[in-house]
Chain A
Amino acid sequence: MKLSLGPVLYYWTREALLEFYAKVAGSGVDIVYLGEVVCSRRHNLRLDDWLDLARDLGASGKQVVLSSQALIESESDLKALRRIAANGEFTVEANEMGAVRLLAGRVPFVAGPHLNIYNNETLAWFAELGATRFVLPLELSRDVLRELQSARPAGVETEVFAYGRMPLAFSARCFTARHHDLPKDDCQFRCLDDPDGLALQTRDKAAFLTLNGLQTQSALVYDLSDAIAELRDLKVDVLRLSPQSRDTIAIIESFHERCAGRPGASLEGLRVAPPCNGYWYGVPGMEYRVPA
């Protein structure tokens, strides 16, 4: 199995991003997804910067994919999307159907986690359109994955989100700006203050969700590190690890070891929050099952 590093879902400073990817270049991931998928206002790196970074990472042996935005609302969003789709150099991850229209039949693409590929017929259709890899929707279980794998079209790789806070929902509303009583159009980029998102807890102090601008994530960290043997048996090709502000490289190395059949460092102190894995077992996503 290969390891991929998902796009950075938070808004980090330019320096933090460049420093992060310099370390990623020497890490054990095979595939790196780059780009801004959450909010079009975030601009610390522009497309040209991402392309420069992509070339650097490519030179260090990484396969680079440019991820596109999950919610496309405006003409300027579409303009940015068209530039990504027409980059001519790197594979693109489509995260909504507008991107698919720009890519289908022209170049091979990755069908991202937000495209709602829930069944075999839909997967077959995406394969015909030119998808060479698809990312399983987060809320699907190993049982559904087994069915998808049993009739997977030739030439399509399967990628599973295996580590990180889960992107559960998108809105036109910015919840970070709302928290700071700011209009979205004048948000002052307050999400820069929260390199792992803004914690939302219940009134009885349970960690519940994470606000990340337009995106709502789980508070808990999805962690399939104990299911690696099962993922391999299911012929999953790629495990996706989602970046966090600290210890991402150590997490990559731990998964790398585990994929090679070695024990790998404990993730206990490396996670930014307690783990969950319910979706994998077909139960509420927030639950955690200790593997038998």
Chain B
Amino acid sequence: MSIPELVCPAGNLPSLKTAVDNGADWVYMGLKDETNARNFAGLNFDAAGAREGLRYAHAAGAKMLLAINTFPQGHAAPRWQRAIDGAADLGIDAVILADAGLMRYAAERHPQLRLHLSVQTSATNYEAINFYHERFGISRAVLPRVLSLAQVADVVKNTPVPIEVFGFGSLCVMVEGRCALSSYVTGESPNTRGVCSPAKAVRWEKHGDTLDARLNGILIDRFAAGENAGYPTLCKGRFEVEDETYYAIEEPSSLNAMELLPELAQIGIAAIKIEGRQRSPAYVAAVTRIWRAAIDAYAQNPARFSVQADWGNGLARVAEGQQHTLGAYHRKWK
């Protein structure tokens, strides 16, 4: 049994500091451009912010990760390569990469730079993970949110690469790195621009008592008076299939795997990742504090671990859509 490390999101310096203060082992961040998969206006770090963040994290004994996890197109790789050079120069503890060409560049140019395999790489099995390990010496792999617990255990058993899994946050129902739904509708996707269902494509239209949420003209959901109108992420709307109207792809719920913490530790998971670089410092503070408490409680007394009511309530308050799921870890979700 190992005690998983806690990996927390930082969309800006206040979030980074609060993640560190609340007990994150690692914080991950991105630059203010399309080299990362949360390329949102007002979010992310410039070089000075990254330097300050790194200083703050290291002073507290935490480590910092830079996500460079989109796919440069055509001749564009040099811009992403400069981001890798910058991370190495700055002394970032590891970079999270998705594109194979960039991994090769990093492994050749910066052999001392630690590489983590991004969830956007879509590596769902140990053959794939071991291949990246053989070729580029990756130090950790983040699993897509599609595997059941038994499948996660099988991966861990068959790879020398430490495995990180998502524990909490917004849930992708599709295999990450393999979803072009957003570019089909808006022209921009996680792979190409680091965004999904971008805000600039969203239109809210009020018709009498109903509120329509559209994404580049496509009706993602229609809310009756009094219904909680969530952000129109395109896979989480209500659609019609054979005259039935329902959440045909996924409900607007978020992942919470806290009750699986003992199983994840026993499987030998190296780290648990919290999603949400686009969320507020308050979210980062609450989720980091509660997960730190849970992991510490488990480490102290594995046999007696149970999810405390105030942890559950605290997480429920910040969850997207106010609804929790175990996602694919639980076979029935599939």
Contact = CB atoms under 8 A, between A and B. Distances in A.
Interface of A: 70-75, 77-78, 81, 96-102, 104, 114, 116, 118-126, 137-140, 143-144, 146-148, 150-151, 166, 168-175, 178-179, 183-185, 198-206, 208-209, 211, 216, 218, 278-279, 282-286
10 contacts: A119-B73, A125-B100, A139-B189, A144-B74, A166-B180, A168-B184, A172-B334, A209-B181, A211-B241, A216-B249
A72 B184 CA distance: 24
Of A120, A198, A209, A211, chain B has the most CB atoms within 10 Å of the CB of A209
A122 B191 CA distance: 14
B192 interface: yes
A160 to B, nearest CB: 15
Contacts of A179: 241-242, 244, 248
Chain B's interface size range is 35 or more
A71 B218 contact: no
A75 B249 contact: no
B58 interface: no
B38 interface: no
B301 interface: no
A143 B192 CA distance: 14
Interface stretch (B39-47, B85-93, B127-135, B261-269): B127-135
Given A171-B175, A173-B334, A284 B147 contact: no
Contact of B178 (A101, A114, A201): A114
B191 A116 contact: yes
B74 A74 contact: no
B74 A119 contact: yes
Interface of B: 71-77, 98-102, 104-105, 121-128, 130-132, 134, 146-148, 151, 154, 173-175, 177-181, 183-187, 189, 191-192, 216, 218-222, 235, 238-242, 244-245, 248-250, 328, 331-334
B334 A203 contact: no
Given A120-B77, A286-B185, A203 B238 contact: yes
A118 B190 CA distance: 13
Given A101-B131, A200-B240, A204-B219, A171 B174 contact: yes
Given A120-B77, A139-B180, A170 B175 contact: yes
Contact of A172 (B99, B147, B219): B147
Contacts of A285: 180, 183-185, 187
A168 B131 contact: no
A10 to B, nearest CB: 16
Nearest to A279: B183
Nearest to B237: A202
Of A78, A116, A218, chain B has the most CB atoms within 10 Å of the CB of A116
Given A147-B75, A173-B333, A284 B186 contact: yes
B219 A73 contact: no
Contacts of B104: 121, 125
A166 B189 CA distance: 15
A119 to B, nearest CB: 5
A140 B127 contact: no
A169 B180 contact: yes
Given A206-B219, A216-B249, A200 B127 contact: no
B271 to A, nearest CB: 21
A286 B184 contact: yes
Given A72-B128, A178-B248, A203-B238, A216 B147 contact: no
B241 A283 contact: no
Given A75-B154, A169-B178, A200-B248, A282 B240 contact: no
Contacts of A178: 248
A120 B191 contact: no
A70 B178 contact: yes
A71 B26 CA distance: 29
